[in-house]
Amino acid sequence: MTPSSYPVVRLRPKAQPRAIRHGFPWIYDNELVTDRRSRGLAPGSLAVLEDAERAPLALVTVNPNSRIIARVMDRDPAATVDRAWLEARLTRALALRSRLHDQPFYRLVHAEADGLPGVIIDRFGDTAVIQPNAAWAEMMLDDLVAALVAVTGVRCVIKSASGRARGLEGLDDVSGVLLGQAPDAPVQVPMNGAIYMADLTGGQKTGLFFDQRPNHAFAARLAKGARVLDVFSHVGGFALAALAAGAEHALAVDGSDPALALAREGAAATGVAARFDTRKGDAFDVMTALAAEGAQFDVVVCDPPAFAPSKQALETGLRAYERVARLGASLVAEGGFLVLCSCSHAADLDRFHGACLRGIGRAGRQGQQIHTGFAGPDHPLLPQLAESGYLKALFFRL
């Protein structure tokens, strides 16, 4: 389709085109004129966005089934979105990651921040795992895979359709191998001196969370000679980095047997298995039990899933974060460290920070805040979109 033949969608008179002109990438369904014609556009269609005065603003992709009814694809309304366009975006994304990392293990594409709305791509050597969380990416998946191979040279591309975002777009949850042959065993991923095991087909999201890499590293600086507790550990993120840095012992707690099995494999591959233990169970129950046992740790890390994935869940989520902080603080030895993390979009840093302080106070503890961490630079922030800066990590010395 040529740009001149794209349909036109228009902002309502009360909508503010200034936000779009200044870089905000989303248009909500109550901001767009939604007549029969616009409602009839196929999810993922490209269209020219105009303001209420009919001045072109941008080239957008439209999904009438989504609360985010349009996403900005290109600031040039006359742009052509095709395989060459995709290759240009991917080349730009790869240039940043190649400068940041000397091994091909990183987030290659971080959605809107890399100019590919709703698309997540994590790279694991010769394999890439893609989450096409927007309708346009599902429509152009063949071109996106071809462009990805052309730019990076990966030999295998896996689609991960898990997660809440695809449901909000009206997309299915069917994952699968799009190109090549999936690894027949977990992939070894080197980070911060440790080896992590990533299950690219059966694990959570894309198989590993690259976003915590700098926070793993900071926590590891505190862990030399320390007893470490890693709660909601997944495949051993904080624990393995701490052990690689010289921790005396680490205990990983998670509700998933497969995740803990991968953590033990990672500990063995790192050469620290003798100093590593796991405990399966509900995190709240295990922390309560550890406190009853009189257990104390020099470093306690709590990295839970998103307790506040939406505004509707915010207050419930903040109470859960407060409870995590209270239970975690009760397990920290005098002079030890507590690390509290949130990956909730809806809980901004101030609200999360307040919940953590309430929890620490309820545990009868006080201390110094020594560091605030965020996602690594392979998860760039789009300044106009607060949701792209979802990860927070607060470090306290109690």
Domains in the chain with CATH codes: 3-74 (2.30.130.10), 83-179 (3.30.750.80), 188-397 (3.40.50.150)
The percent of residues above 70 in pLDDT, for the chain, comes to 98
Quick one: pLDDT band at residue 352, thresholds 50, 70, 90? very high
**Contact in structure between 81 and 44 (CB atoms under 8 Å):** no
Chain center to CA of 335: 31
- Taking the C-alpha atoms of residue 226 and residue 27, their distance in angstroms, rounded to an integer, is 49
Indicate whether 165 pLDDT > 90. no
27-54 pLDDT, tens digit per residue, is 999 999 988 888 899 999 999 999 999 9
Q: What's the average model confidence in pLDDT over 282-296?
A: 98
pLDDT at 371: 98
First CA to last CA distance, the chain: 61
259-281 pLDDT, tens digit per residue, is 999 999 999 999 999 999 999 99
Indicate whether 3 pLDDT > 70. no
Q: How many C-beta atoms lie closer than 10 Å to residue 224's C-beta? A: 12
Average confidence score pLDDT of the chain:
95
Say what the pTM is: 0.94
- Taking the C-alpha atoms of residue 113 and residue 67, their distance in angstroms, rounded to an integer, is 20
Q: What residues are annotated to the active site?
A: 343
Helices (H), 153-297: 164-168, 213-221, 237-244, 257-270, 283-292
